Amino acid sequence: MQTYYEILCVAPDAAPDEIRAAYRRLAKQYHPDINPDPDANERFIAIQQAYETLIDPDARARYDLALRGGAGSAPRDPFQRYRPGGQAAWTPGFSWQGQVPRSGLGRVGMIALLFFGAILIVLTLVLSLLFRAVTGSRRQDS
């Protein structure tokens, strides 16, 4: 698996100007309209993804942290997100936006869980009001 730095052929401590220059050079070389190679489209998409990550300081910091193993897992293959035809395909894997853990409940189970949770909250409020009404009336009588 290549890192984004290897894809753009830059050092991990490269300045944004170096990253920008490497991106422009590689984009011209692998752009699907210029390069007739069938793999050029996939390579161009990987170059774009690497550039968008490394040019943004926050995304780059998170990526570097993931490379060092600090985010729990290393980033996945940049080509994994795309089908052979170059179309984007959703695949579970590395994401900068974090991922919601999957559960085995499904949609119906989640709706049932929310429904019963709402019933418990309403029941708790009603019991609280009843308890307050009963204890409040005893204090007034005493």
pLDDT 10s digits, 30-43: 998 888 888 888 89
- Count up the domains in the chain and report the number: 2
pLDDT digit string, tens, across residues 61-117? 999 988 887 655 445 555 555 545 444 444 445 455 555 556 666 778 888 889 999
**Section 129-136 average pLDDT:** 88
Give 76: exposed, middle or buried? Use CB within 10 Å, 0-12, 13-18, 19+: middle
Q: Are 73 and 32 part of one and the same domain?
A: yes
Look over the chain and give the mean of its residue pLDDT values, rounded to a whole number.
Answer: 79
Q: Are 11 and 69 part of one and the same domain?
A: yes
- Please report whether residue 89 resides in a domain: no
Q: Are 60 and 126 part of one and the same domain?
A: no
CB 80 within 8 Å of CB 74: no
Q: Are 30 and 74 part of one and the same domain?
A: yes
Higher-pLDDT residue of 133, 77:
133
**Section 48-61 average pLDDT:** 93
Q: Are 15 and 75 part of one and the same domain?
A: yes
Residue 121: pLDDT above 90?
yes
One-letter identity of residue 72: G
Q: Are 19 and 57 part of one and the same domain?
A: yes
Q: Give the range of the structural domain holding residue 123, as residue numbers without chain letter.
A: 103-142
| CATH number of the domain residue 23 falls in | 1.10.287.110
